[in-house]
Amino acid sequence: MLFLNNLLDKVSTSNSSINSFLSDLKNYLENSKPTYYTVDRIEECFAVCENMKTSKMENILLSTLPNNVKEGTVLKFQNFTYSIDNEFKKKRENDLRDKVNKVWKS
């Protein structure tokens, strides 16, 4: 978001349509839902990740990820930044455990 703030500061106030567009874009990006990925494996300079929403595999440059990324890590992508989301990972594991328990109790 820093680059959008800088861009907004640099745009002349005389061009209200550009300012309006940039402001709308900033609000959209700030309020958009994060995208979650699971790291499947590390290959050379990429993390091969599964998009949890689409189930598609994507290569993400390791240089854009936190240093301690490994297989099984859950990543959250929001505001052009990747972060590790251990809480989301635990919630997924608990949900899966609950489903397995329901199957075995049936």
Query: In the structure encoding, which two tokens stand for residue 79, read together?
Result: 């505001």
* Total residues belonging to the chain: 106
Is residue 49 very low, low, confident or very high in pLDDT (cuts 50, 70, 90)? very high
Q: Which CATH number fits domain 35-105: 2.40.50, 2.60.40, 2.20.28, 1.25.40?
A: 2.40.50
52 φψ region: left (φ > 0), alpha (ψ -120 to 50), beta (else): alpha
Instruction: Give yes or no for residue 70 having a pLDDT over 60.
Output: yes
pLDDT tens figures, 3-25: 556 655 665 555 677 777 777 77
pLDDT of residue 93: 86
Please list, in sequence order, all residues whose beta carbon lies within 8 angstroms of the beta carbon of residue 62, skipping any fewer than 6 positions away: 42, 45, 46, 47, 69
Instruction: Give yes or no for residue 64 having a pLDDT over 60.
Output: yes
pTM (2 decimals)?
Answer: 0.65
Tell me which of 6 and 78 has the higher pLDDT: 78
Q: Taking all residues of the chain, what is their mean pLDDT, rounded to a whole number?
A: 85
